[in-house]
Amino acid sequence: MSPARRATIEFLLDNLVWLMLIVVLAVFSATIPNYFQFGIFANIFEQSTFVGVMAIGLAIVIIAGNLDLSVESTAALSAMVTGMLFASSGVGMGISFSPAWLMPVVSLLIALAVGGIIGFLNGFFVIRVGMSAFIVTLASFIWVRGLVVAISGGRSAQNLAPSIRIIGMEDILGVPLLAWISVLCFAIFAFVMAKTTFGRYITLVGGNKDATFRAGINSDRILWSSFIVAGVLAGLAGWLLAIRTSGATANLGVGMLFNAFAAVVIGGVSLKGGIGKLPGVYAGVLLLYSIHTAINLMGLPAHFTQMILGGLVLAAVLLDTFKLRLREKLL
């Protein structure tokens, strides 16, 4: 087989999720009444924000050859901390200061720091102590959620300060600002992964950690950073969630982990590590919420979404295996 032909096939395989997204959107638009509307697409965009931002971090950790199950609880903790500090009802303390524009900035920094700390701890146990990432982050998934319930007493914080909420109400070109924030995050991290040494090392460490160590790369530091990045992004997702819901509840974001995971796998990130691109992950998130929206519009019960998503994840993993085999044949 000629290299050009092989390159074409590889390109198609690598970008299959975009093809799927286009086909799904076309089919839904043609068959579901009221699907093909700007408002619907803007809504899909906005819904994709929270899981999307979270999925970036998850994808980076998986590409580096690990796993982070804690992102959902981390986001919930960041949202709760934001809510408790800056919301005025429920468990909210209603802290407020001027100038008003400083409030979103300070609340964002706090949310990112909360996420970063959880990521740092995950990294510590995986890299320094040498425990399995699955166990460490599963434990975090549980204790961080426990912490959310503990600090809030199981109650919720409502009425987030208007100066922060404003971010959830603005839109640009008819698309909510929140959606643009996730697009921006994807653009930034897609660049980081494809064009900077940090992104290159994440991929190389995920492919062969020993080789990177021998090549003089500080592979432990790269791995640790990946956990911190995932934590910070989960913190951002939590902050956005708090803005969207004008506060936080103790069970905020439950189920997001599965969605993020599904998007990452459907987006072409291999659980083996070392393989995957962030634009594909974004397509995966959009695909997920296009299906969610279609099911809502058709008035089907929500559990249909779960069945379809479960099926999609299975299909995506099968596809990953199939791609490997096809590649071997292409040799």
Partner 1 sequence: MTDGEPLLKLERIKKHFGAIEALRGVDMTVSRGEVVALLGDNGAGKSTLVKIIAGTYPPSSGRLMFEGEERYFASPKEAKAAGIETVYQDLSLCTNADVVANFFMGREITKRYLGIPVLQEREMEKVVAEAMRNAGTKIPSLRVNVENLSGGQRQAIELNRFVHWGGKLVVLDEPFAALGVEQTRRGLEMIRRVAAGGIGVIVITHIMEQAFQVADRLVVIRQGAVAGDLKREETTPEKVIDLITGGTLSDAGTDGDGGNSDPAYQREKTRL
Among the listed residues 275, 283, 286, 316, the single contact to partner 1 using CB under 8 A: 275
210 lies in the site for partner 1, by CB under 8 A: yes
Query: Is 256 in contact with 11 (CB distance < 8 Å)?
Result: no
Query: Is 281 in contact with 14 (CB distance < 8 Å)?
Result: no
* Angle between the N-to-C axes of helices 197-207 and 177-195, in degrees from 0 to 180, rounded to the nearest 10: 70
Segment holding 248, helix H or strand E: strand 247-248
Q: What is the DSSP string of 79-131?
A: HHHHHHHHEEEET------SSTTHHHHHHHHHHHHHHHHHHHHHHIIIIIS--
212 lies in the site for partner 1, by CB under 8 A: yes
Among the listed residues 102, 169, 298, 330, the single contact to partner 1 using CB under 8 A: 330
196 lies in the site for partner 1, by CB under 8 A: yes
Q: Which residue has the tokens 């990946």?
A: 226
297 lies in the site for partner 1, by CB under 8 A: no
CA 119 → CA 74, 138, 223, distances in Å?
Answer: 9, 13, 11
- β-pair partners for 157: 90, 248
For residue 13, what are its two tokens? 């395989």
197 lies in the site for partner 1, by CB under 8 A: yes
Give least dist CB 217 to partner 1, A.
Answer: 5
Give least dist CB 20 to partner 1, A.
Answer: 23
Segment holding 330, helix H or strand E: helix 303-330
251 lies in the site for partner 1, by CB under 8 A: no
Binding mask 2-41 for partner 1 (x = CB under 8 A): -x---x----------------------------------
Give least dist CB 274 to partner 1, A.
Answer: 4
Q: Which stretch binds partner 1 (CB under 8 A): 24-32, 34-42, 106-114, 197-205?
A: 197-205
Among the listed residues 211, 300, 307, 314, the single contact to partner 1 using CB under 8 A: 211
- β-pair partners for 255: none
| Per rule CB under 8 A, count of chain residues that contact partner 1 | 25
Q: Which stretch binds partner 1 (CB under 8 A): 25-33, 195-203, 243-251, 296-304?
A: 195-203
Give least dist CB 305 to partner 1, A.
Answer: 33
Angle at the Cα of 192 (from 181 to 190), degrees rounded to 5?
A: 55
For residue 98, what are its two tokens? 């001027």
Distance CA 65, CA 76 (A): 25
99 lies in the site for partner 1, by CB under 8 A: no
Q: Which stretch binds partner 1 (CB under 8 A): 189-197, 226-234, 243-251, 279-287?
A: 189-197
For residue 171, what are its two tokens? 């839109």
274 lies in the site for partner 1, by CB under 8 A: yes
For residue 31, what are its two tokens? 């068959």
Nearest residue (CB) to partner 1, 202 versus 233: 202
Q: Which stretch binds partner 1 (CB under 8 A): 28-36, 75-83, 212-220, 305-313?
A: 212-220
217 lies in the site for partner 1, by CB under 8 A: yes
Q: State the residues that interact with partner 1 by CB under 8 A.
A: 3, 7, 195-197, 200, 203-204, 206-208, 210-218, 274-275, 327, 330-331
